[in-house]
Amino acid sequence: MIVNDDAGLRRILLACPVIAVVGLSPKPDRPSHVVAKYLLERGYDIVPVHPLATEILGRKCYPDLASIPRPVDIVDVFRKPEDVMPTADEAIHIGAKCLWLQLGVVNPEAAARAADAGLDVVMDRCVKIEYERLFDGGMLSEVSRQ
């Protein structure tokens, strides 16, 4: 399902504590790094996905989603729109609950494929911005740890 409403965004952010960040940069000044660090500080379990890195933010990095040895809730994508379809297919394959395409990442075909496969899809929104807006920047104590 395509999610555009606050209730849906809250539901996703509260129920999905494991976030694989595809395209997470090891460079601290990059948006992906800033967002992942922010989410990590708020209790999310961040899983870096970058084909050339071994560790980012003190966390083991994986070359792709299929290499992650545990369940992932949200696949947060920092990639060019034209590069999203393979990531959407991987998100479906690993059983992710949500495909989240960051600001500026718009790929309606990939979004439709993921939604048709049963994933929640958020497109052209930043997880950090939405978290700050919806939860007032407070520490995330409500994340389900089940």
Architecture per CATH, 6-135: 3-Layer(aba) Sandwich (3.40)
Q: Where exactly are the structural domains of the chain?
A: 6-135
SS (H, E, C) the chain: CECCCHHHHHHHHHHCCEEEEECCCCCCCCHHHHHHHHHHHCCCEEEEECCCCCEECCEECECCHHHCCCCCCEEEECCCHHHHHHHHHHHHHHCCCEEEECCCCCCHHHHHHHHHCCCEEECCCCHHHHHHHHHCCCCCCCCCCC
Q: pLDDT tens, position by position, for the chain (146 residues)?
A: 999 999 999 999 999 999 999 999 999 999 999 999 999 999 999 999 999 999 999 999 999 999 999 999 999 999 999 999 999 999 999 999 999 999 999 999 999 999 999 999 999 999 999 999 998 654 444 443 33
